[in-house]
Each structure stands twice: as structure tokens, then as C-alpha cells.
Amino acid sequence: AMRAGPRRGPGAGRRGPGAAGGRGRGERGMRKSRTGQSGNLSTTVDPNKVVEIEPPITVKGLSEALGVKVTDLIAALTFKLGVAGKNINSFLSEEEVELVALEVERKIKIVERKEAEEELLQDLHEAAKEVESETRAPVLTFMGHVDHGKTTLLDALRESDVVKGEAGGITQHIGAYRITRDDGAFVVLDTPGHEAFTSMRARGASITDIVVLVVAADDGVMPQTEEAIAHAKDAKVPIIVAINKCDRPNANPMQVMQQLAVKGLQSEAWGGDVQCVEVSALTGQGLDDLVEQILLQAEILELHAKPDAAGEGVVIESKQSPEQGAVVNVLVTNGTLRLRDQVLCGESLSRIRGIIDDHGNQIQEAPPSTPVSLLGMTSLPSPGDKLFVITDKKKAKEVVEDRQRTARNMSLAERSAQTKVTLANLSETLEAQKQEELKVILKADVMGSLEPIKNSLDRIATDEVRVNIIHSALGGITETDVALAEAGGAMVIGFNTVADQTARQAADQAGVEIRYYSVIYELLDEVRLAMEGKLAPEEIEEITGHAEIKAVFRSSKFGNIAGLMIDDGNVTRNSHVRLSRDGKVVHRGTVSSLRREKDDVREVKSGYECGLTIKDFNDIKVGDQLEFFDIKYVKRTLS
């Protein structure tokens, strides 16, 4: 029951910046201070009080909660902790928050607030507790290799829909459609292939109940077939195999089943648990069988929903239409959505002003497992966003405000930074997520290396963690690999193979880590180390400036003070320094005081004279060369 990596649901990343003291007094207090300048905060919070704060926490949020100036926090981050580049709206990790609090001598406790959205949903479910459950139609995604017949098969199934639109079957494209037959009904997500499935999963909205894997009987298992299997398996969605094109003279369903068995899909006919149905989208052969298996599988899954509850759904897609405004296509997952319902979706509250079904009909209400187009939405949500009827308008408004604020504050990079799984942060991530496995997508150049690496990775396991190779294949790293990694919270390992440019870009955007290796034992060693949590952060020196000592002043109070002129760059009160004489490094330490004229200063820039002392080091001479640097602690990178 492992969920995708550190990925959070779409709502999670959007909670408001850290609020003080939970939902009651503290929060109100914070609101107030938000309107004032962050300058005069120091007196408002008792420094001895333990302040509670909820992630995600921004510098600003922390400043407000602690009553410590933003500039002081940033100074502590930059100079004491060596964390550069933070601004008022930057997000801080929990570790950073704790360390900064220590630096500014405040007590802090990080608490997880139940997400407001979750709370609203819970209220909704609580209210529907007594409402009766009924069986609902399954939701299917068709996947498989290109040209194996997904589209044709979908069209053929659609032909058998008994409530096809009267006007010659004109259907409304709304991202999904419901097929009703005499033997039962099911919903098909309209974008066959991995993208829709993956992007929804990546957002924590897995609405697919069953994957129909389409494999051409004359072509067999191909790379995208394997990817589809990996996707479905990783998402723990049951697979039904449609062996298509069985009308073709060179069709060889037996061979397909053999190939599938090798990939871990054992046909029920051969004692396994996967239904393989031989079909032809062209002649219609086997389609009824396929539907029967789908409905059977749905029965086994015991899919239920409560039609009499308040409506709830997931956004499939949304677009701005010149005539209709925001059009939001939603699959109703529970309850019934009704005209004029007030709903929370994405970053706004809206009232439903129109419901259009997949046949283009205006309808009044939409029960569970109905794909519909909603009109009247006040913003464009993203696929995977939840939508639900609200009962508590005040709470809903809070959620919306929170989200709008965070959406503004959070840059794309920060969003992806929150979701990154890397080898270097693996042990923390796993712990934080209560995960017991490292998910890996493995690409290699030749079979001769792929197999041994797979076998060895399988054998690496500590008491807590094991490696789970969710997909492995020969060839370069592609965008699809990255998408799978993103959805599954995995990392990608390339052995003697590289990522193409689109894959690299996608990985950058999604925050997916790609690692390249060309030596097997290095690969294994690093994975092992990462799993054992032994990758200590790496120190990186960033040279900031240079100077030569021009004079030495002796002071009984401070020891020897170096008089110098900064040649290039700068020096700060917290700079690290390397002192060399005659080309040899004599000392490496830190600056302990920095003065211009008689004043203590924070920083001296190039071209200016200053005096400084070096911590615990007095043996300075005229002519000594000083090199100033900052030390950054970065998560160890493994390449």
C-alpha cells in the first residue's frame, strides 16, 4: 500500500504558508500581523513560548509566527546555515525551520494540520454516512502500443451504446464517455494511452478502476505495451488484456499470451489471474466477451458510490470557451451533482450553471460514474483537481483563500522541489513517507547489463528498504520513462544510456532524478549507500573574494588584526577564509570580526580597505594571501 513517493495530492502543495498556532487564536493573530509591516514584530511573540507552525512554511510565515524579522531569518539562513537564495516567499524545509529557530533562539514545534480541503471532504462524507451505497459503473483506461487498435476498439464499443445520441451519434468531447449496454454500463476515459492515466496519477487522482491493455495479435508485446503494464501494475489497477486484430491471418494470440506471461501477466486460461480476451475491433468478434470480463472484474472490485449524497468528482480537463466561458469536464465519483450546486474546485468557489452530458444533452443532475461538462465555473482547474459540493461556505472560503495565496507564492520550481525523490534524500524521503521501497526505472544499453543489474538491485535490501524496479527496458531514457517515474515517485537510472532532450526537460520540470552510470558496482554501491541513509551532505566551497594582508595591528583585546584591501569579490563577517603564504595553505578557518574604520560591518566589497581577525588564529603576516569562501551544504549528488 505504498503511494507514489513524496508526491502530495494536488491540494497538499497549496495549503497556505505556515500558519501559527493551528486554526484558532494563533491563526487569527497571524492574519492580523499579515496586514502590518513585518518590521515591528519582535515584541509581539513571547520568545519563551513554544510556537506551533504548520508546513508548508515560508520565510514570511515563519517570521510572523515567531515575531522575528524576515531579514533576520534570511541572515541566519544565509550566514549561519549556509542556505543561500531564500527570499521572503521561499519555502523552508522542516529541518531548515528548526535550525533557523535555534539560531534566533526561539522554540518551535512543527505540526501537521489536517488539510482544510480534507476536512471539508470529511464533513461531506460524514454527512453521507447513513446514505445508502449502490454499485457504480467502472471507469476504464485503454492502453497499449501505438497502432494496436485502441481507438478502433473504443469506437466499436461506442457503437454498441444503446443511448447513443439520436442525431447520428454526435458526441460531445468531454474527455470521457459512458457506454450503456443491455449487459451493463462503463465509463471510458477518452484519451487512450499513458499520458492521461499518468498525469492524473501524478496528481493523486487515480480514477481508473480497470486498465484494458490492447495488444495486437499480429505484433505482440511491444515497448509501449510494457510501459503500460508497468503503469498499471505500479498503480495497482487490475488489467484486462484485449488481444486485438484476431481477424488477421497472421494473428497469434498464443504467442501474445506467452510474451505477457514473461512480463508477469499470466492468463487465466493458463492458471494465472489475468483475463485475456481475443477480439477484433474490425469485425466485432469477441467484443461482448470483453465487456463481460470488464463487468465481471468490476463486480469483483465491488465498486460502490452513494447517488443520494452530495456530489463529488475529479476534473478530467478544462478549457476556456469563447461562448461558454470556463468549461470544466468532470467525472462524478460519488454523490450527485446538481444544477445550481455550489462547488469548490481548484482555486475557486462556483455555482453550477449548466451540466452537459457526453451526448451533448443539457441535464439537471449527474449521478456517480457520469462524465459531464460543467458550466459556470469561475476559474480553470487542473486535471486531477477535486470538485465537490460545499456545505460550509465559511470553511470553503478559507480553503480558497489559502490556495490562492499559496498558488501566488509558490513558484513552479518550488512545487517540484517538494516532490523530488533523489538518491541523496532517499532515506529521509522514505522515512517521511513511511515508504519501504525505492522505486526505480532502469534503462540500459544491452540485455547483458540490464539483467545482471536487475538481479543485483533486487538483492539489495536493508531491513527497512528494498528496491522496486517498476519498469526496465533497453534503450535511451524517454519522456515516457520520466512520466512514469513522476507518477510513481520513482527515479530513473540509465546504464550506458542517456536521456534525450525532451526527457531531460520533462525531468527538470517534474523534479524527477535521472542518474547515469557506466560501472555496475558503482551503481549498486550508491544505491546501497543511499538506502542505508549514509549519504552525508556534501560541503561545497563558493569562493567569494580575495585579499592580501597589507598590515598587521596588534590588539590586546582582539589579537592580531589584519589590515587589508579586498582585491575582488567581498568578505562578510561570517566568511570562511583560507590563508596561504608562499603558495602553501597555512590555515583554514573563519573570519571572527570585520571592521571598517571603527565600525563593525557585515560585509566589505572589493576595492575597500578593512580590518579583520581570524577565529583562533593569530599568526598572520604582511603578504599573506586570503581567500574568502562560503560553505554550502548540499545534498550529496551521486554522479
**Where do contacts with ligand GDP occur on this chain (CB under 6 A)?**
144, 146-152, 244-245, 247-248, 280-282
Q: DSSP class of residue 358? A: T
Q: Report the interhelical angle of 520-531 vs 447-459 (nearest 10°).
A: 20
Minimum Å gap between C-beta 188 and ligand GDP is: 13
Quick one: which of 639, 630, 638 has its CA closest to 82? Answer: 630
- The residue among 177 and 628 lying less far from ligand GDP, judged by its C-beta, is 177
Minimum Å gap between C-beta 230 and ligand GDP is: 18
CB atoms under 10 Å from CB of 600, counted, come to 9
Minimum Å gap between C-beta 174 and ligand GDP is: 19
Minimum Å gap between C-beta 180 and ligand GDP is: 22
Q: Measuring CA to CA, how many Å separate 635 from each of 73, 319, 427, 629?
A: 22, 40, 12, 19
Minimum Å gap between C-beta 212 and ligand GDP is: 11
- The residue among 147 and 268 lying less far from ligand GDP, judged by its C-beta, is 147
Minimum Å gap between C-beta 289 and ligand GDP is: 14
In 104-247, alpha helices (H): 116-127, 150-159, 194-202, 223-234
- The residue among 152 and 255 lying less far from ligand GDP, judged by its C-beta, is 152
What whole-number distance in Å separates Cα of residue 45 and Cα of residue 574?
28
In angstroms, how far apart are the furthest CA atoms of the chain? 100
Polymer length of the chain: 639
Minimum Å gap between C-beta 384 and ligand GDP is: 23
- The residue among 148 and 546 lying less far from ligand GDP, judged by its C-beta, is 148
> What's the grid cell of residue 30?
497571524
- The residue among 151 and 378 lying less far from ligand GDP, judged by its C-beta, is 151
Minimum Å gap between C-beta 340 and ligand GDP is: 39
Q: Indicate the Cα dihedral angle 228, 229, 230, 232, nearest 10°.
A: 80
- The residue among 242 and 426 lying less far from ligand GDP, judged by its C-beta, is 242
Minimum Å gap between C-beta 190 and ligand GDP is: 12
- Please tell me whether residue 12 adopts helix, strand or coil conformation: helix
- The residue among 116 and 251 lying less far from ligand GDP, judged by its C-beta, is 251
Q: Residue 373 belongs to what H/E stretch? A: strand 370-375
Q: Indicate the Cα dihedral angle 119, 125, 128, 132, nearest 10°.
A: 180
What whole-number distance in Å separates Cα of residue 370 and Cα of residue 200?
17
What's the start-to-end Cα distance of the chain, in Å?
31
What whole-number distance in Å separates Cα of residue 523 and Cα of residue 493?
9
Exposure string for 418-441, b = 16+ CB within 10 A, e = fewer: bbbbbbbbbbebbeebebebbbbb
Minimum Å gap between C-beta 227 and ligand GDP is: 13
- The residue among 155 and 542 lying less far from ligand GDP, judged by its C-beta, is 155
- The residue among 206 and 244 lying less far from ligand GDP, judged by its C-beta, is 244
User: What is the SS3 string spanning 479-522?
Assistant: HHHHHHHHHHCCEEEEECCCECHHHHHHHHHHCECEEEECCHHH
Quick one: which of 364, 463, 345, 363 has its CA closest to 403? Answer: 345
Residue number of the CB atom closest to ligand GDP:
149
CA 492 to chain centre: 15
Q: What is the CA radius of gyration of the chain?
A: 30
Q: Are 227 and 480 in contact (CB under 8 A)?
A: yes
Quick one: which of 123, 24, 58, 8 has its CA closest to 396? Answer: 123
- The residue among 211 and 457 lying less far from ligand GDP, judged by its C-beta, is 211
- The residue among 257 and 561 lying less far from ligand GDP, judged by its C-beta, is 257
- The residue among 72 and 479 lying less far from ligand GDP, judged by its C-beta, is 479
Minimum Å gap between C-beta 194 and ligand GDP is: 12
- The residue among 282 and 363 lying less far from ligand GDP, judged by its C-beta, is 282
> Cβ-count burial of 260 within 10 angstroms (0-12 exposed, 13-18 middle, 19+ buried)?
buried
- Please tell me whether residue 458 adopts helix, strand or coil conformation: helix
Q: DSSP class of residue 164? A: -
Minimum Å gap between C-beta 247 and ligand GDP is: 5
Minimum Å gap between C-beta 218 and ligand GDP is: 8
